[in-house]
Amino acid sequence: MTPLINNAVSANALETSVMKLWQEFLARYFDGGKHDVGATPLVQFPLAELLFQQSAAGQPLAASGGLAITLVSSEVTRRKWVAWENYSSGLTSGLTSAATRQEICYEAVAWNFWVRANGTNGRALCKSGSDGLFGLLSNKGETHALGQKGICRLKVHAPRVIQETDYVLRLVSLGATLRYPILSQRYVDECGAGDLDPGAGDGGQSGLGAGS
């Protein structure tokens, strides 16, 4: 598993940061090559164009007989909860080592991945695309990279065949939890994490939901 380069999920750019992480993660695999996903031999992934929400510009479905995977947020009620946690943010300005308590927001979300293909080989292409996607999202070792950036607790459902004619369409649905720090809700203590009290100190406002 190679860590992702893009920034972690952020409250400042919730949708953008999430979509960038998905773009980076999926693009690593759906490039038409073989990848080590903990299986022997290496697993072949098809080349796919990755699309997000209504990114229709040049939506290719595949005039050229290609594969497209479109990620769409589902219209579910986004359940949220918060918790104070030790936060390993490293150094803070002027301090060599600071233990930080941070209020973290958890948010349950759902996405639909629409896998589409057409052309003479469309059915096989769509099948390999949706199978590859399902296998990848079920793979805890590979999706750990997403978890490190705040997209965690993935719960993927097996691909559903929507249509298998010249226009082949499958659906892979996914539930997940986003984890991101609530801005301004941070408590820094120079003494050490063991002494921290989230309810005390300047930054230690303990009110749940503030800033979320």
Partner 1 sequence: MIQSSRVTITSNIQGVLDRATRRSRDVRTALTRTLAVGEWDKLLRAEAKRTLWALAKQSEWGFVDAFVATVLTGPFMTGFFARMSNPLPPVLVVEEFAMAQDLQKRALSQGTGPTLFSDFLNQFDQMMTDWVANEKDKDRRDYDKSDEEIGSWIGYLMLTPDSKLNAKRSGKVNPVTGKPVLSELEAKHSLMKHIVDYIQRRQTEKRLGKDQINAWLLAVLAAWSVLVRREFPGRFRAQLNVVRTEL
Find the part of the chain contacting partner 1 (CB under 8 A) among 66-74, 91-99, 125-133, 188-196. 66-74
**If binding is defined by CB under 8 A, does position 127 make contact with partner 1?**
no
Residue with tokens 């010249």: 166
**If binding is defined by CB under 8 A, does position 75 make contact with partner 1?**
yes
CB nearer to partner 1: give 132 or 159: 159
**10 and 130 Cβ atoms separated by less than 8 Å:** no
CB nearer to partner 1: give 16 or 92: 16
CB nearer to partner 1: give 75 or 202: 75
Closest distance to partner 1 from the beta carbon of 10 (Å): 23
Binding mask 143-182 for partner 1 (x = CB under 8 A): --------------x--x-xx-xxx-x-x-x-x-------
Task: Please give, one letter per residue, the 3-state secondary structure of the chain.
Answer: CCCCCCCCCCHHHHHHHHHHHHHHHHHHHCECCEECCCCCCCEECCECEEEECCCCCCCCCCCCCCEEEEEEECCCCCCEEEEEEEECCCCCCCCCCCEEEEEEEEEEEEEEEEEEEECCCHHHHHHHHHHHHHHHHHCHHHHHHHHHCCEEEEEECCCEEEEECCEEEEEEEEEEEEEEEEEEEEEEECCCHHHCCCCCCCCCCCCCCCCC
Find the part of the chain contacting partner 1 (CB under 8 A) among 25-33, 35-43, 71-79, 202-210. 71-79
**If binding is defined by CB under 8 A, does position 114 make contact with partner 1?**
yes
**If binding is defined by CB under 8 A, does position 56 make contact with partner 1?**
yes
Give contact residues for partner 1 (rule: CB under 8 A).
Answer: 51, 53-54, 56-57, 59, 61, 70, 72-77, 79, 110, 112, 114, 116, 157, 160, 162-163, 165-167, 169, 171, 173, 175
